[in-house]
Amino acid sequence: GKVRAHTHIISTIYDDRGEEPCYAGVPMSSIIEQGLGVGDVISLLWFKRSLPRYCTKFIEICIMLCADHGPCISGAHNTIVTARAGKDLVSSLVLGLLTIGPRFGGAIDDAARYFKDACDRNLTPYEFVEGMKKKGIRVPGIGHRIKSRDKRVELLQKFARSNFPSVKYMEYTVTVESYTLSKANNLVLNVDGAIGSLFLDLLAGSGMFTKQEIDEIVQIGYLNGLFVLARSIGLIGHTFD
Ligand code: ACO
Ligand code: LMR
């Protein structure tokens, strides 16, 4: 008789059963005809919805500003060593990507989690930072080995101030940063912290997500994906270099 395999995988983001492939229900021709960009494609494939232009522009700015940060950073260093050892593009890329974690580029989700919790509970910066210290946890999104103030953080905040309906979480992290800076001058808000907090404002302010969806996005951890995607651009560049 006829042997049919059961469906093992269900994709809710891509559909090519019709005339043309769709990203979260939006046909590819429509994406091109409307002149949409990579931020829109990310909204469709990650968040399964079309987001307003200021949101997709913000996503694109995150990608552009995090694309590279020089050869001495752990990711680029690994990629360069791998490429110089004669390995191929994919090996060089993934060896760099594998260094992304809590101390480098992978603190965005934790920054969003901790800042959201602290801000939603109206903790003062003192209560939040000292509470983290008691638990022995470094505040994710705070601190940088070298930098005093990061231009990328300024640019992201400037864009949000003029385009987002609310920057409540960003304002909260600014007060946390003022407090940590009073302890040591390298305890700045870093780019991971800026993206984590501003993405909370994007999710909450866009009116496109329910409270439950925001909690899920933050708990599952979507946001490190922005850094992984962005830095792939630079790591590929370092491989070719
Ligand atoms: N919260 C509280 N205290 C901190 C923090 C922080 N986030 N960062 C540093 N400190 C304090 C600690 O007291 C630390 O002392 P300890 O080693 O006894 O714990 C002391 O400052 C040492 O600081 P540095 O030598 O400047 O720290 P280092 O250069 O080793 O680390 C780093 C820099 C990795 C960014 C660190 O600040 C950190 O872990 N931050 C939290 C995670 C984070 O945000 N990572 C993303 C960085 S941005 C990016 O990679 C794109
Ligand atoms: C980066 O974007 O790679 C950095 O912020 C990390 C670093 O240590 O400079």
To test the pocket of ligand 2, the residue of 64, 65, 73 to mutate (highest count of ligand atoms within 8 Å of its CB) is: 73
Mean confidence (pLDDT) of the chain: 96
Cβ–ligand 2 distance for 231 under 6 Å, the answer no
**Closest Cα to atom 2 of ligand 2:** 69
Cβ–ligand 2 distance for 145 under 6 Å, the answer yes
pLDDT at 117 over 70: yes
pLDDT at 9 over 90: no
Measured in angstroms, how far is the CA atom of residue 142 from the centroid of ligand 1? Answer: 7
| Chain segment 165-210, per-residue pLDDT in tens | 999 999 999 999 999 999 999 999 999 999 999 999 999 999 999 9
> Could you tell me the pTM of the whole model?
0.95
Measured in angstroms, how far is the CA atom of residue 24 from the centroid of ligand 2? Answer: 33
Query: Which ligand sits nearest to residue 68's alpha carbon?
Result: 2
pLDDT at 13 over 90: yes
Output the six-digit token pair for 236.
Answer: 């590929």
Query: Which ligand sits nearest to residue 115's alpha carbon?
Result: 1
Phi, psi at 35, each rounded to 5°: 65, 35
At residue 239, the pLDDT reads 98
pLDDT at 1 over 80: no
Give the C-alpha separation, 79 to 90, whole Å.
10
**CA distances (Å), 132 to each of 114, 115, 190, 200, 211, in order?**
9, 11, 17, 20, 25
